[in-house]
Structure 1
């Protein structure tokens, strides 16, 4: 109860000091704004300069009356000085100090002199003396303006200094008050923290004992569950990839058989020879897949073993495109080869499946009339294969998720798929020392990039 009351009192006092500090800050802003006004600082100098030019003009009238150019020069200089004093913000300054009437008299006198001087080609001695007598009151007016400026600056400077001192004292009082209240609050806070720490220590001791019991009973089960989940994910990913690999050559064989059934009249020795060659190629590819699948160590705890062989990556991409167009003859694939060949040591079957997966995705998520762009190039001894479709694209907020296992973008949920192809394809590319990335996507297009360096393969 006492601590709560102390906090309340300290809070009220701190609020009061904060309000005081805010008021002091407001007054400091006013002082700062007043210091930004530089008109009055040099005003006395400007008035003295104008007064000096008026005297030089009068001297020129008396001493150089035969030299009209000199008189004109002195008159123009004097007029420019007076124009400066008559413009903003100088004019407002003179209005504030009560010197506007004197300035108007000076301006009127100069207009009279200018009118008289411009109407005469040459001035007689009597006219010069008349102009001189008209200039004499200007000296007195400048003197009065200078006196008013000096008095105003003296009073304003004193008021500003008094205001600044008051603000300094007010700010110091507010800061000292805040420091005092802050010290009191800090003391109360330390006492509360110590009390809370004692309670937390007791709670943590009981919690640690309970967690130790739970950890001992669940450690074995947790390890077993993690191992099982990891094995299941690897196995599912491998089976998904293998199913895609089997599908392509089987689909080609089935396509040739359907063509013979539908068009028996086209069967001749050349057609049979050509079809047999394509069937043998599909069977050869199927045999390689079967051989890599039935191997006893193809699946293990860390992933999938790779079987190294030397082959041409450019040719492999071309064959993958040919397989795809065999199954989807209506889909046009533009193949741009910036390099003619690229010999590589890696698992041809699995790398071929990456390209097949990218083509299958591009075909699945594009409209029937859209085409697919495939580009191969070499960049700093790194083989690059880019596959670009012009379909529905990937939502921007989901681009970081598409390589996760079993994840499918929200805009393709209505289409068939397992969500494993991209994940497993990236795993295979990284086991070869490369990577599979989403290069770009937007409304109406998606582009993936496969990079394979000359080194980095982890084949068995």
Structure 2
């Protein structure tokens, strides 16, 4: 089913890509046609040529009349008008102008007038005062041409208007087509973008799902190992103690019974703590743990945690150092802060020799306090440090030392819940220093 869906997605995306390219090519072609249409101005050129020829004919006719009726008229002006008239006729008798005039039915008339003018060239250029015969011949020759050119100009103007209207219609249609194509391109582009983003999101979802599955599998393996070791050992001790009591009957001394009962209670407390730690992880993930900030006296907090640990391990030595700039109190959840520090002190005692002291130092910086717990224990190798706060993780150097691998994970999450941070520095075989950073004022995070 997934392969079929992928195949359909590829076909749809490929079809959309091809349509995208075709629409681009079509839009480009239509734009090029429109640009070429804008450059076509044949009608304008012909109207200009016809009007200029008609004007030249009128000016030549007028100059011939003035030359005949004026005694001292200069021949140069007549010569100029004659040559201009011939050049205009030649312009209309060549190239595209000739084809255009042929469509109007005037190409023969133009050739006829041009030939007649050349035949009268000598008479025109040598005209003198009172030469009415030549003037009449020129007038009779030019007058029909002037009328024909006027009609040709009107026809050219009409054709130009029609061509312009058709060109505007074509351009308007081309613009509409280009707009539609651009809109289609935008839609296809949005579709392709959506398809690509959805594919990327799906790949990311699959990748995250696979990562979560791997993490879940790793957590499951770690939890199974934890249960098999941390649960089995105390249960075996409890079972052994109870079997010994049962076998002894009423003959076991009271002191031994009391000793074995204490041993059973100790193991039961360990199991209870393990279950509570596991439940704390679940509650944190379900956001069921909330902070209740209040005024917390820093020195009392530290001394209370150290005193509690001293009662549990009276053979251990502890030192406490509080900096001068540390405020007397901060705004935080005292119980959650104690939970973190209890775990840090317990780990420091657990993973360091009995002869080595555990020190606690407090300093203030940038409106935050830093509570550090130092030990001279086994330390953490560099290759294991990035997994220290992972759930159920226990390093290779912790073999034979009781623990769940949950405490630091819980402490790290609770520190963030308090708006702070839990960090550490460690060297294998030298010791570790875990530091809890807490803001002086409650940041308002939950």
Calculate the TM-score normalised by the size of structure 1: 0.40
Q: Max radius of gyration: which structure?
A: 2
